[in-house]
Amino acid sequence: MIVCNFSLLGQDIQGILQSLADLLTPPGVLILQTLHPFSAMQNDRYEDGWREETFRGMGEGYRSPMPWYFRTIGSWLGEVQGAGFRLLQCQEPVHPATGMPLSLIITASRE
The rounded distance, in Å, linking the Cα atoms of 68 and 92 is: 20
Is the model more confident about 57 or about 38? Answer: 38
What's the confidence (pLDDT) of residue 57?
A: 66
**Whole-prediction pTM:** 0.89
For the chain, what are the domain ranges? 2-110
DSSP structure class, residue 90 = E
Condensed to tens digits (0 to 9), the pLDDT of residues 58-99 reads 667 667 888 999 999 999 999 999 999 999 999 999 999 999
Query: For all residues of the chain together, what is the average pLDDT?
Result: 91
Number of other CB atoms surrounding residue 26 within 10 Å: 8
Is the model more confident about 37 or about 53? Answer: 37
* Superfamily the domain 2-110 falls into: Vaccinia Virus protein VP39 (3.40.50.150)
Report helix, strand or coil for 111: coil
